[in-house]
Every structure is written in C-alpha cells, then in structure tokens.
Amino acid sequence: MKEYTEAIHAKRLLKMLKKKNPCGCCPSAKRFSIEEDNYEMWLNKKVKPCYICQDFIGIEIRFWWENICPCNRLGRKESIKRTWLALEEKGYI
C-alpha cells in the first residue's frame, strides 16, 4: 500500500476530470467510483483522502461532518473551477 499524497491526488484528479461527470467520481477510489472503499487502498487512513481533496482546493474542515466531497459542499461548477485553479497554481498542469 502507498501513502495518498498530494502528487498522487493531482495525478488522479487529472484522470478523473477527463470523465463525463467528474463530480460523480472520487480521485482516491478504485476506478474513481464512489461505490468503492478508498480507505482500504491507502496507507494513511488517519489522513483520509477526503481531507486531502478538500485541502487541495482550499476548503477548511472545522467539524468531522464537513468531511464530504467538495462537489457536495461547493457545488459542481465551483468545485471544478477551484480544482483546475489549484492544479495550475501547484504546477501540475
């Protein structure tokens, strides 16, 4: 098992964003499926992939119940916009 890092997250985000409906996907899950358990794929289970996803685009998580997909917190359009901007700013594209 590997640790889920920002670099892995960015690489998987780029693949995920090529999908028809990227907001129906999870970059840390097998085959990007929200049906798959992403926590069994990665070594760093305490730093859950959802936290990395939200931190990547600048969403602050103050309470455990806020740890949900950015598309559900911000809406599809805003979430994808922030993702592209973050990928550019961090030098992944």
CA nearest neighbour of 15 among 2, 4, 29, 36: 29
Contact criterion met (CB below 8 Å) for 30 and 14: no
Q: Please tell me what DSSP assigns to residue 25.
A: B
Supply the pLDDT for residue 29.
84
pLDDT digits (tens, 9 = 90+) for 39-86: 677 776 666 667 788 889 999 888 877 778 888 889 989 999 999 999
Helices of type H across the chain: 6-16, 49-56, 70-74, 76-89
pLDDT digits (tens, 9 = 90+) for 7-51: 999 999 999 999 888 887 888 888 888 777 666 777 766 666 677
Supply the pLDDT for residue 90.
96
CA distance 10 to 53: 9
Q: What are phi and psi of 68, to 5 degrees?
A: -130, 170
Supply the pLDDT for residue 43.
76
